[in-house]
Each structure stands twice: as structure tokens, then as C-alpha cells.
Structure 1
Amino acid sequence: MTQEEIDSDNVEYERLAAIHNAARRRWLTPTIQLTPWLPSDRDALVPYLNMPEIYSYISGPPFPYLPSDADAWIRGRPYEMTKNGTPLSHCIRDMAKGGKPIGSVYVSADSDDNLEGDGVGYWLSPEYHGQGIMTKALKLMLQEVSIKEVGKRKITGHAHVGNWASRRTMEKAGFVNYPELETITIKDGKEIPTWTLRLILTEEDLNQREVVEEAAPLPSLVQ
């Protein structure tokens, strides 16, 4: 790659990063917010993805997860946005703790014809489990990004067999498990049986689907 090509790539990255980082913030609770992932989140991301409670149940990241892995992943986020500039991966932050990252949620912008490569993904710090945060984050991202903005009507999700918490999160968002589509995920050289769930929406379903409202933040957290 020539220096001119490198400079051009850097300019394009900076353009996309500016759009990505300025994306709208959404409130899940009076203290929990959905925002873009930022370069400054690297040091928070690394310990989470080395936690067995998180790493064991997600398919993609390497282990051990290194700062260089976090840098590469975060740098790639501006290349995964909708045509309108909405990030497909959002950080879940506790704004009462200075915007501390506590989780992540991802939705796909793939065509409805590409259900094999489609997917949703998420994880949440164990200390925040059992509060409905992940379910609302997934529902809101599906509603505002996948359904309204991208126009998707068919969405796929996966969970390792036995990971009932993840499966129930998707089921609460309207996904249905398809036993005949159970597949195998290769992780650390091992074969892991994996459920395949799908959310398939008709126009009637859309009219009857619960509307997820954003929360009003605590006045002290509004800048």
C-alpha cells in the first residue's frame, strides 16, 4: 500500500469515526445508557472478555483477550454502522459510575435473505444480571435499529446449548428456538452444540409488538 493510499484510508477512518462517536445516546434506565464504543474503553473491555462468566458463552473473541485485541475490535466499530451512521454495536454504560462500560449489544444489518450470517450478540457484567438490563437493551436495539432503521423482518440469534439466560433474553425479545436448526460452534478446538433462534415478523406482528420506551435519566446525569 502506498503512502497516498494509507493517508486516504486514515482520512476515511477519521470521517467514519466522527460519525460513529457522535451517534445518539439512549437511556435504558435512569442511570444506564447505550452509547457507541470508544477508544478509551479499551482498558475496561479487556478484563471483561477474560472473565469465564462472559468468555465461556460468546463465540468470537480470542482467549486470552489482549489490549491489542480490544484496540483492533474498537477500531473496527466505525466500519459497522447502518447507512444512516448508527453503530451496530453499542456499549452499555453505568453513567452513575462515570460512564463505566458494563456490557455490549450488537444487531445485524444483513439482508433478510442472509439468515445464516445474520445474528445478534450481547454480554453483561455479572454484577448487573437479573435487573432486566440486557433484555431491554436487546429489545431497544432491535426496535430502533434492526426493525425501524434497517427494515429487517427476519433476525437470527444463537446461544450455546445450556445457556438458558441468553436463550431467555432472546425469547423475551420475541425469538423462537428452532430445534431442527441446532448447530455446532467451534470454540477453543471444541465442538459446542448451539441453539438457533429466529425472530420472524409479519406486519401484524409489528402492529402488535410492544413499544420499548427509553427511560428518563436522573437530572444529575444530564449534561
Structure 2
Amino acid sequence: MPVYFNPLTKEPYLRLPAPCSHIIITMDRPHDIEETSKEMTEILNDPLVYPWLEGPPYPFLPEHAVDWINMQCKENEAIRTKLQQEYEQSKNQTQSNDSSDQDGPPKFFDVCAFRCIREVTEYDLKTGAALKDVFIGSISITRYAFYELEYGSSAREEAQARNNEIPAGNKDIVWGLGNYLSPKYHGQGIMTLAVRTLIRDWAIPRMNLHILKASYLVGNTGSSKVMRH
């Protein structure tokens, strides 16, 4: 099952393969806003990170982080509930040895709910579940913004509008990739594996992703390596 669940908290998450199996990708957490916003603010004000990003304001303030996390939590609430329902149903079917799929194939979502890259720092000895982790970066797949077209041009606006009108699950949607990582974790192959994991375990099976575009600023050697791999 591509989406894992913490047996102690029931939180859904994605897990990177070895040698980065201590890295997970989670949704934003309503109960963890203060700590995550602190870590996010530190990363997005780092001179090795913010010059390569177009979206976040600089300086990036704690209130920016809190507002962003709250917005993401609200946006992902329905998906979190749906995944937890699927998890409980799967457990019940396993216990009853029922292999039938009563609800049919999984529905396609229009949102990449898994966004927060975290390093697990402590595990439960009995279950192996993550007890503590730290936010180290972000990854997202959203409707593509057509950066190759002139900013503010009618051509760019029309391309975005056409793409945004395509219904969820349609293979013709053009998706765009965005990401950043704490400099403390650069050069370890984490983002390369995070991109692969997100595409394989979520974007393809749950968003029906067929077309993905990514762009980066000239000179961003880290992102260029991720895109090549």
C-alpha cells in the first residue's frame, strides 16, 4: 500500500526508500502548527534557499507560515478523512478475510495532500512507529503555472485557465513540481527520492498524473540534479 499509516496516531504518510527510509512525507498537521511554522520560517529565510524560490515572500515571517499551514490543513481535511476511512475499511477486510473492494477503485484527488518532508528522530520500540520528527522541507505538485510564458501575459493567463478548468483525474492536466529543503540536508539525495516517492505513491495512483513539468532558476545546481534524476 503506497500510503502508510502510523499505528499510534493513524496519520497517513509516505515513506522514502533506503537509504532515506528515515524520511517521511506527511500532510500539514493541525496540532503541530507552532513547531512546523518555526522550522519552516528558518528554512525559508536561509540564504541558500530563498533566492531560488518564486512563491514565498522574503523575509518569510512566522505569521506567513501559520497562515499557510492553516490553509493547507483546511484544504486537506477531506482527503485526510477519506484516507483514514480507507485505512479502517482495509483493516476490517483483513480481519474478516474479505478481499472484495466494496467502494470500487480509489477516487482521484485534485490536490497533492502530502507536502511536508520530515526526518524521523525517534521510533516506538514496540511498533516501529515514528514518535518524533522534524520538518526539513516541502514538496508539492500543483496545476502548472506555465512559467515559460511571459509573466502577466494573456497567453499565460489563458493557458492557466484552460488547465485549471480540466476536471480532477483527467490525464490531460499539466502538473507542476515545487520543492525546497533545509540546507542541512542538501547533497544526500533526499529530494530526488522524495520526488520519486510522491509521484509513484500518490500523484499517479491518486491524482492520475500523466504530465508533469518542472522549472528552476539558472544557477540552481541542486534542483537541476533532482530534475535530471
Ranked by relative contact order (alpha carbons within 8 Å, sequence separation 6 or more), the top structure is 2
Determine helix, strand or coil for the equivalent of 1:61.
coil
Alpha-carbon contact 2:173-2:209 (below 8 Å) kept: no
Give the alignment's TM-score, normalised by structure 1: 0.60
* Residue 52 (structure 2) aligned to one of 33, 37, 57: 57
Aligned partners of 1:147 and 1:82: how far apart in 2?
21
Alpha-carbon contact 1:77-1:89 (below 8 Å) kept: no
Please list the CA deviations of residues 104-148 of structure 1 after superposition, one character each: whole Å capped at 9, or x if unmatched: 111126655453xx3111111111111111111111101122111
Determine helix, strand or coil for the equivalent of 1:94.
strand
Specify the alignment match of 1:96 in structure 2.
Answer: 121
* Residue 14 (structure 2) aligned to one of 23, 26, 31: 26
**Stretches of structure 1 lacking an aligned partner (at least 5 in a row):** 1-20, 173-223
Instruction: Summarize the Cα distance change of 1:31–1:78 in structure 2 as closer, same or farther, 3 Å threshold.
Output: same
Specify the alignment match of 1:47 in structure 2.
Answer: 42
Specify the alignment match of 1:125 in structure 2.
Answer: 182
Alpha-carbon contact 1:103-1:124 (below 8 Å) kept: yes
Alpha-carbon contact 2:173-2:211 (below 8 Å) kept: no
Alpha-carbon contact 1:88-1:108 (below 8 Å) kept: no
* Residue 226 (structure 2) aligned to one of 158, 165, 169: 169
Alpha-carbon contact 2:114-2:140 (below 8 Å) kept: yes
Q: 1:159 is aligned with what amino acid?
A: Y
Matches for 1:69-88 after TM superposition, within 5 Å: 69-81=64-76, 84-85=79-80, 87-88=112-113
> By percentage of residues, which structure has more strand?
1
Aligned partners of 1:36 and 1:82: how far apart in 2?
10
Alpha-carbon contact 2:79-2:113 (below 8 Å) kept: no
Matches for 1:143-222 after TM superposition, within 5 Å: 143-172=200-229
Aligned partners of 1:77 and 1:127: how far apart in 2?
25
Aligned partners of 2:77 and 2:199: how far apart in 1?
13
Specify the alignment match of 1:35 in structure 2.
Answer: 26
Q: 1:34 is aligned with what amino acid?
A: I
Alpha-carbon distance, 1:80 to partner: 4.3
Aligned partners of 1:56 and 1:64: how far apart in 2?
11
Alpha-carbon distance, 1:37 to partner: 2.2
Give the root-mean-square deviation of aligned CA atoms: 2.5
Alpha-carbon contact 2:117-2:138 (below 8 Å) kept: yes
Give the alignment's TM-score, normalised by structure 2: 0.58
**Stretches of structure 2 lacking an aligned partner (at least 5 in a row):** 1-8, 84-111, 123-131, 144-163
Aligned partners of 2:117 and 2:186: how far apart in 1?
13
Q: 1:78 is aligned with what amino acid?
A: C
Instruction: Summarize the Cα distance change of 1:92–1:157 in structure 2 as closer, same or farther, 3 Å threshold.
Output: same
Alpha-carbon distance, 1:60 to partner: 0.3
